[in-house]
Amino acid sequence: MLDEKMKEALIDQINEEFYSAYLYLSMSAYFSKIGLKGFANWMNVQYKEEVDHGMKMFNYIISRGEDVKLQAIKEPPSEWNSPLHAFEETLKHEQHITERINYLVDIAEEVKDRATYNFLQWFIDEQVEEEENDREIIDKLKLIEGSKNGLFMLDKELGARVYTPLVNEEK
């Protein structure tokens, strides 16, 4: 059984994770529209990972014997000024998610929910990786600024990213 405050915060985070998925799917569509299929692929993989994150939380709540009342997902933006702008927004969004995960950890500590505290450690590690990946791409975009060849090469690199589903016991 989960503390009510903990449960509600986790349900709010499910909504955040599914919004993240919507945001990255929208970015995938944007990149497809401007002819950057590799960037679109990278964002599509990101979309799938965010769905996994939401489902991981959903399944955790269920495993604790609780019900989940899902919330409406707000509409994400659909246009960005440039690939760099899109990735700067991605980093900003991931920093927001990091703050949210930290808030969940704070609640778990406050209500002495050691199981949820332990569960959330995976998300903390994941957020470090998410922010690092975004910064790396932003750095590359800044390095190649104005170079169509550089953008083509980065698009090819991002197109090689492959989705790896979470292992069943981790969901």
CATH number of 4-164: 1.20.1260.10
In this structure, the chain runs to a length of 171
pLDDT value of residue 59: 98
CA 127/CA 135 separation, integer angstroms: 12
**Averaged over 159-165, what is the pLDDT?**
97
* 91, amino acid identity: L
Q: Is 153 exposed, middle or buried (0-12, 13-18, 19+ CB in 10 A)?
A: middle
pLDDT value of residue 167: 78
Residue with tokens 């489902």: 55
CA 14/CA 58 separation, integer angstroms: 7
| Token pair in block for residue 154 | 């980065």
Indicate whether this model's pTM tops 0.75.
yes
pLDDT value of residue 168: 61
Neighbours of 54 (CB within 10 A): 21
CA 151/CA 13 separation, integer angstroms: 34
Q: Spell out the domain ranges in the chain.
A: 4-164
Q: Let me know: does 31 contact 83? Beta carbons within 8 Å.
A: yes
User: How would residue 170 be classed by pLDDT, with cut points 50, 70 and 90?
Assistant: very low
Nearest Cα to 171, choosing from 99, 115, 108, 123? 123
